[in-house]
Amino acid sequence: MEEYFEMQFIFYMVMVGITGLMVGSFLNVCIYRLPRGRSIVAPGSACPECGHPLAWWENIPLLSWAILRGRCRSCKIWITPRYFLVEILSGAAACLLFWEFGGNLVQFIYYYIFFCLLVIVFFIDLEHWIIPDSINLIGVIAGITGGFFIPFGFSKPVPFFFPEGGLSSIGGAVAGYIFFGMIAVTASLLLRQEAMGYGDVKFAALIGAFLGFSIKLPVGFILAFFIGGLFSIPFLLIGKKRSKEPIPFGTFMAIGAFIALMWGEKLFTWYKHLSGGVF
């Protein structure tokens, strides 16, 4: 009997992983097209260089990129490994989130949507230094709407409609917006130039809507500053990056938010223990 459940679980994991790879394929389309103002539904995928339309077998997650050795079949141009990376990440994250939240299918889907939005922002901000308004808007609406049906931090069965969760989402979104808004205003007054984009402020609201008004939210934001700092210092030291150049802060916020979603409470407990309960 136990073995039967184990087999069933492995089967679900494989199916979830494969679905994640296919979702990753779509996320690649969003990452490439959204900042260029193109439709994400039509036309079908094509080579960005020569426009060669991809046949179905050139569009299989992971496999196609590996078989074609990262080159376009027609013009042989080098296709960025980002395609491969996004697909791998999306498959792995689907398994990880299913492992953590799979007991509640709605919760699993909710957090997977959150992951998808984070991946899109991670790569677009890294390359273009912008966060599309459409993503922030869809994210805040999805995060708050879903919040009403997602039992935050409850493992026992709860009613389908869950006002506490929705209020927590609204609280998180408002808190994120105000917190980053204040940082943006303060920083621009001190530095006399725009130090943090308005896109980052709206993205903070998106993260707050999904993480809710919980300890995960400040943990995610602190991690973003910490990781951003770690990445910026070496560049500043070797002088490759002038300090006035913007850093893709949304990219670091996305990393911080995902870590906080998965391990935020554990990190906070660990930190409390380290600091001896002082903070």
Q: Which are the contacts of 77, defined by CB distance < 8 A and separation ≥ 6? A: 47, 49, 50, 71
Question: At its nearest, how many Å lie between Zn ion and the CB of residue 100?
Answer: 40
Question: At its nearest, how many Å lie between Zn ion and the CB of residue 52?
Answer: 5
Q: Does 55 bind Zn ion (CB under 5 A)?
A: no
Q: Does 50 bind Zn ion (CB under 5 A)?
A: yes
Question: At its nearest, how many Å lie between Zn ion and the CB of residue 56?
Answer: 17
- Binding residue for Zn ion, selected from 23, 27, 72, 119, defined by CB under 5 A: 72
d(CA 217, CA 16): 27
Q: Does 75 bind Zn ion (CB under 5 A)?
A: yes
Between 68 and 95, name the residue whose CB sits nearer to Zn ion.
68
d(CA 256, CA 252): 6
User: Is the torsion defined by CA of 43, 46, 48, 51 positive or negative?
Assistant: negative
Question: At its nearest, how many Å lie between Zn ion and the CB of residue 81?
Answer: 16
Question: At its nearest, how many Å lie between Zn ion and the CB of residue 51?
Answer: 7
Q: Does 47 bind Zn ion (CB under 5 A)?
A: yes
- Binding residue for Zn ion, selected from 17, 45, 52, 179, defined by CB under 5 A: 52
Output the six-digit token pair for 173: 């979104």
- Binding residue for Zn ion, selected from 19, 45, 59, 74, defined by CB under 5 A: 74
Report helix, strand or coil for 71.
Answer: strand
| Residues 112 and 95: beta-carbon distance below 8 Å | no
Report helix, strand or coil for 58.
Answer: helix
Binding site residues, Zn ion, CB under 5 A: 47, 49-50, 52, 72, 74-75
